[in-house]
């Protein structure tokens, strides 16, 4: 897709932009780690890295689903509300044991994905509106299910999922590694992955070529819903509380940022799974860096806003044409 | 006969089907739902509430519904323009809060003129920057305005010492007169909605907006100032949101920092329920007004009958309403789709 410029300089610049889009996020992570370590050697300690991972993993999990949705030229704004739904369902079903409660939460996420994906795939509603309706409605539903006050979730299994470590690395980070591998395999090595990017490239052409457009779209939104619900489980486990009124707020923004920073264009047709994971880690590193230097959260928000716009601007270059 | 069927089949494939009687019926139904749907539902809901809900049909209650929504309705007014142009503005809730904080700060530090000017200028500028990013840098509106949401929220937190300082409007300030009474807020909103309707229907800007929302490519080829018009739309939305926040601060006599979260969603819901197509190119200010009132009446009824659930029940109803309306619009307007 690179333009065939005759001038060597032009070609080099194209290649440079492309490389920056594809690998810029990894370079940025290395630079940030180096700077932080130089300023405060403590930053690279296992303890600190573990704390950062606990924060980054839920966003990463949500971002994986979001990357698939964005790959189909869609968007899923409902993920934050799905986290709230998962948080509301867990205490309701905890009486049946931890794993049934987790299963119900995941089923809740899948159901939300079915509704959103159904609207997108079958009724052909624009993804942004379909998931916006879910975003508004589901948080209301979650708060109704749970009540306005947070409920404690004192379960060793769910708590362990959110708090325990194995070989010094959070259990949830191990799970995230597995999820990244699975999603990467799905995108790169399966028919489903091919179909997904083809639909993102050109939905009409894919439909005319006989691809199962509706089924793939539906599946993608269901996956996104389930992953968001799983992130909700992790957040409840880590916090020890279920607080649907406040859990998952702005997660859709963080997830979209992670995806875009990782080099997946919003225009669809391409999914970068490892980049997405790196994008989530990068955004967490930014937050950690700012916190370490006592930058107030208000400035941190503004910096984040600027990074988002810059990342989308950088990613736009190639995909927009 | 068979030839006709063949032509129809090909046209169906290519999306170039001739308009049939069914299509025309559908088109008319769509237009009707779009233009009159929300007003009709509003009338039905109000009548039903008057008959069934004791205490609803009361001037004091009507007054409180209208005053309570006078300022937030301005967010929906700005959003109407944005959505007709084919975009979306997710920043209005934060900008509303920012406008309030700036107004209270201005009233405390420089008197009434600063209190009015500061939020209007700053929020208008923020809207303009968003508009420029969308038109000149060609970034997706929802991502730019999501970043704008974050930025405005961060800015007001920074101004208010992380939300711990609430600026108060000095008791004697002339600024307070802007938000007093029952009629002034209502009339302000009515005047601005009327001005908005005139702007949309009777000016070149409004006509360009419909053209751009209908097809940006065609509007460009027609020689319309696409970039300028779209930038202006976001500037207008920021201006209205900031202005609404300013008026709200005059009413509350302070710059409340944690206000406005999720207001953009209610505004979008009101606009869509009012019949404006989210794909752009069609919509009306009057529809938005009835959308705002419909959601306000439902919220009022929920407050009376389902008060134990509070605003979360209204969120649920908003979301469900939005889904139904969008589904209806999409199903009715599907003639042009290819697959």
Domains, chain A, ranges and CATH?
8-319 (1.10.3470)
Q: What is the pLDDT of residue B1?
A: 40
- Secondary element (H or E) of residue B322: helix B311-332
Instruction: Based on the fold, state whether residues B142 and B112 are members of the same structural domain.
Output: yes
Instruction: Based on the fold, state whether residues B91 and B171 are members of the same structural domain.
Output: yes
Render the burial of A44-71: b for 16+ CB within 10 Å, e for the rest.
Answer: eeeeebeebbbebbbbbbbbbbbbbbbb
Mutation site, A82, A129, A299, A315, interface B, largest B CB count within 10 A: A129
Could A298 and B154 be called an inter-chain contact, meaning their C-beta atoms sit closer than 8 Å?
yes
> Looking at the predicted structure, is the pLDDT value of residue A38 above 60?
yes
Nearest to B322 among A133, A141, A298 (CB): A133
CA-based nearest residue to A142, from B319, B261, B265, B297: B319
B310 exposure class (CB count in 10 Å sphere: 0-12, 13-18, 19+)? middle
Structural domain count, chain B = 2
Q: What is the pLDDT of residue A62?
A: 96
- Residue B240 covered by a domain: yes
What is the signed CA dihedral for B39, B43, B45, B46, rounded to 10 degrees?
130
Instruction: Based on the fold, state whether residues B251 and B116 are members of the same structural domain.
Output: yes
Instruction: Based on the fold, state whether residues B325 and B207 are members of the same structural domain.
Output: no
Instruction: Based on the fold, state whether residues B133 and B274 are members of the same structural domain.
Output: no
Task: Dump pLDDT digits (tens) for A140-196.
Answer: 898 888 877 888 888 888 887 878 778 877 888 899 999 999 999 999 999 999 999
Three-state DSSP class for residue A165: strand
Q: What is the pLDDT of residue A4?
A: 46
Q: Are B339 and A203 in contact (CB under 8 A)?
A: yes
- Segments of chain A assigned E as strands: 151-152, 165-166, 169-170, 241-242
Nearest to A129 among B137, B311, B326 (CB): B326
Structure token digits, residue A258: 């992670």
3-state secondary structure A241-296: EECCCCCCCCHHHHHHHHHHHCCCCCCCCCCCHHHHHHHHHHHHHHHHHHHHCCCC
Q: Could you give the percent of chain A with pLDDT greater than 90?
A: 40
Residue of B nearest to A303 (CA): B151
Q: Are A254 and A67 in contact (CB under 8 A)?
A: no
Instruction: Based on the fold, state whether residues B141 and B274 are members of the same structural domain.
Output: no
Mutation site, B94, B143, B272, interface A, largest A CB count within 10 A: B143
Residue of B nearest to A257 (CA): B143
Question: Picking from A1-5, A84-88, A220-224, which range would have the lowest pLDDT averaged per residue?
Answer: A1-5
Look at residues B260, B286, B309 and tell me which one is the last residue of a structural domain: B260
Which residue would you say has higher pLDDT here, A141 or A1? Answer: A141
- Residue B30 covered by a domain: no
Three-state DSSP class for residue B163: coil
Mean of the per-residue pLDDT values for chain A? 86
Q: What is the pLDDT of residue B236?
A: 97
Instruction: Based on the fold, state whether residues B269 and B145 are members of the same structural domain.
Output: no
DSSP label at B168?
B
Minimal C-alpha gap between A156 and chain B (Å)? 30
Low-confidence ranges of chain B (pLDDT < 50): 1-3, 7, 10, 14-17, 336-339
Sign of dihedral through CA atoms A60, A64, A65, A69?
Answer: positive
Nearest to A308 among B143, B157, B311 (CB): B143
Rounded CA separation A103/A100 (Å): 5
pTM exceeds 0.90, yes or no: no
Could B143 and A256 be called an inter-chain contact, meaning their C-beta atoms sit closer than 8 Å?
yes
Phi, psi of B58 (to 5 degrees): -150, 135
Nearest to A137 among B143, B315, B339 (CB): B315
Q: What is the pLDDT of residue B8?
A: 53
Instruction: Based on the fold, state whether residues B95 and B153 are members of the same structural domain.
Output: yes
Task: Dump pLDDT digits (tens) for A276-315.
Answer: 999 999 989 888 888 888 888 888 889 888 988 888 887 7
Mean pLDDT value across residues A56-64? 95
Mutation site, B316, B321, B328, B331, interface A, largest A CB count within 10 A: B316
Render the burial of A203-230: b for 16+ CB within 10 Å, e for the rest.
Answer: beebeeeebbbbebbbbbbbbbbbbbbb
A295 exposure class (CB count in 10 Å sphere: 0-12, 13-18, 19+)? middle
Mean of the per-residue pLDDT values for chain B? 86
Minimal C-alpha gap between B335 and chain A (Å)? 12
- Residue B165 covered by a domain: yes
Q: Could you give the percent of chain B with pLDDT greater than 70?
A: 88
Instruction: Based on the fold, state whether residues B163 and B308 are members of the same structural domain.
Output: no
Q: What is the pLDDT of residue B178?
A: 86
Q: What is the pLDDT of residue B278?
A: 80
Q: What is the pLDDT of residue A2?
A: 44
- Residue B17 covered by a domain: no
Q: Are A191 and A204 in contact (CB under 8 A)?
A: no
Rounded CA separation A43/A33 (Å): 8
- Residue B35 covered by a domain: no
Task: State the pLDDT confidence band at A229, using cuts at 50, 70 and 90.
Answer: very high
Instruction: Based on the fold, state whether residues B169 and B292 are members of the same structural domain.
Output: no
- Residue B28 covered by a domain: no
Q: Angle formed by the axes of helices A297-319 and A251-261, to 10°?
A: 50
Q: How far is CA B253 from CA B68, B71, B116, in A?
A: 15, 14, 13
- Residue B22 covered by a domain: no
Rounded CA separation B118/B105 (Å): 9
Could A144 and B320 be called an inter-chain contact, meaning their C-beta atoms sit closer than 8 Å?
no
Look at residues B260, B288, B316 and tell me which one is the last residue of a structural domain: B260
Q: What is the pLDDT of residue B301?
A: 85
Look at residues B260, B276, B303 and tell me which one is the last residue of a structural domain: B260
Sign of dihedral through CA atoms A61, A64, A65, A66?
Answer: positive
Structure token digits, residue B227: 């970039």
Instruction: Based on the fold, state whether residues B118 and B167 are members of the same structural domain.
Output: yes
- Residue B176 is part of which domain span? 80-260
- Residue B56 covered by a domain: no
Structure token digits, residue A89: 């369902």
Instruction: Based on the fold, state whether residues B136 and B191 are members of the same structural domain.
Output: yes
């Amino acid at each position: 897709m690179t333009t065939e410029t005759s001038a060597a300089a032009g070609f080099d610049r194209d290649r440079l932009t492309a490389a920056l889009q594809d690998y810029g996020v990894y370079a940025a992570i290395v630079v940030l780690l180096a700077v932080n370590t130089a300023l405060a050697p403590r930053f690279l300690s296992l303890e600190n890295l573990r704390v950062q991972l606990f924060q980054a993993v839920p966003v990463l999990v949500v971002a994986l689903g979001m990357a698939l949705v964005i790959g189909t030229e869609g968007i899923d704004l409902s993920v934050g509300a799905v986290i709230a739904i998962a948080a509301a369902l867990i205490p309701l079903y905890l009486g049946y044991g931890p794993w049934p409660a987790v299963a119900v939460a995941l089923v809740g996420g899948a159901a939300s994905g079915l509704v959103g994906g159904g609207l997108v795939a079958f009724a052909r509603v624009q993804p942004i509106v379909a998931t916006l309706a879910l975003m508004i409605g589901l948080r209301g539903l979650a708060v109704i299910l749970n009540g306005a006050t947070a409920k404690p979730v004192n379960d060793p299994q769910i708590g362990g999922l959110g708090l325990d470590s194995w070989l010094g690395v959070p259990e949830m980070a191990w799970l995230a590694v597995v999820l990244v591998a699975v999603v990467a395999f799905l995108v790169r090595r399966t028919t489903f992955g091919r179909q997904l990017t083809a639909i993102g490239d050109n939905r009409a052409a894919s439909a005319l070529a006989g691809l199962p457009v509706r089924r793939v779209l539906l599946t993608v939104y269901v996956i996104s819903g389930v992953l968001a619900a799983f992130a909700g489980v992790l957040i409840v486990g880590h916090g020890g509380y279920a607080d649907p009124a406040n859990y998952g707020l702005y997660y859709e923004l963080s997830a979209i940022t992670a995806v875009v920073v990782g080099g997946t264009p919003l225009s669809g047709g391409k999914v970068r799974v490892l980049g997405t994971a790196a994008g989530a880690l990068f955004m967490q590193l930014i937050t950690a860096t700012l916190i370490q230097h006592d930058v107030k959260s208000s400035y941190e928000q503004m910096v984040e806003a600027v990074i988002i716009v810059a990342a989308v601007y950088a990613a736009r270059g190639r995909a927009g044409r | 006969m068979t030839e006709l069927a063949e032509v129809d089949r090909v046209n169906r494939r290519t999306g170039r089907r001739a308009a049939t009687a069914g299509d025309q019926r559908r088109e008319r139904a769509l237009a009707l739902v779009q233009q009159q749907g929300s007003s009709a539902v509003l009338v039905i809901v109000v009548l039903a509430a008057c008959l069934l809900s004791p205490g609803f049909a009361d001037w004091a209650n009507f007054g409180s519904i209208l005053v309570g929504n006078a300022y937030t309705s301005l967010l929906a007014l700005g959003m109407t323009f944005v959505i007709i142009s084919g975009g979306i503005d997710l920043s209005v809730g934060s900008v509303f809060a920012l406008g309030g904080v700036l107004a209270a700060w201005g009233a405390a530090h420089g008197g009434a003129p600063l209190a009015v000017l500061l939020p209007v200028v700053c929020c208008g500028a923020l809207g303009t920057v968003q508009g420029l990013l969308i038109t000149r840098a060609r970034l997706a509106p929802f991502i730019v305005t999501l970043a704008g949401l974050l930025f405005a929220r961060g800015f007001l937190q920074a101004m208010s010492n992380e939300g711990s300082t609430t600026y108060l409007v000095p008791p004697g300030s002339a600024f307070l007169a802007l938000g007093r009474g029952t009629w002034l807020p209502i009339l302000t909103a009515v005047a601005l909605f009327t001005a908005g309707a005139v702007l949309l229907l009777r000016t070149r800007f409004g006509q360009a907006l419909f053209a751009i929302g209908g097809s940006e490519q065609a509007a460009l080829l027609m020689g319309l100032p696409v970039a300028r018009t779209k930038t202006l739309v976001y500037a207008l939305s920021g201006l209205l949101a900031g202005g609404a926040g300013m008026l709200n601060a005059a009413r509350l006599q302070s710059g409340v920092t944690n206000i406005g979260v999720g207001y953009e969603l209610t505004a979008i819901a009101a606009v869509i329920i009012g019949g404006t197509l989210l794909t752009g190119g069609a919509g009306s200010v009057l529809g938005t007004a009835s959308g705002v009132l419909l959601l306000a009446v439902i919220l009022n009824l929920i407050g009376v009958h389902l008060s134990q659930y509070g605003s979360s029940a209204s969120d649920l109803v908003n979301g469900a309403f939005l889904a139904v309306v969008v589904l209806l619009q999409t199903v009715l307007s599907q003639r042009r789709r290819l697959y």
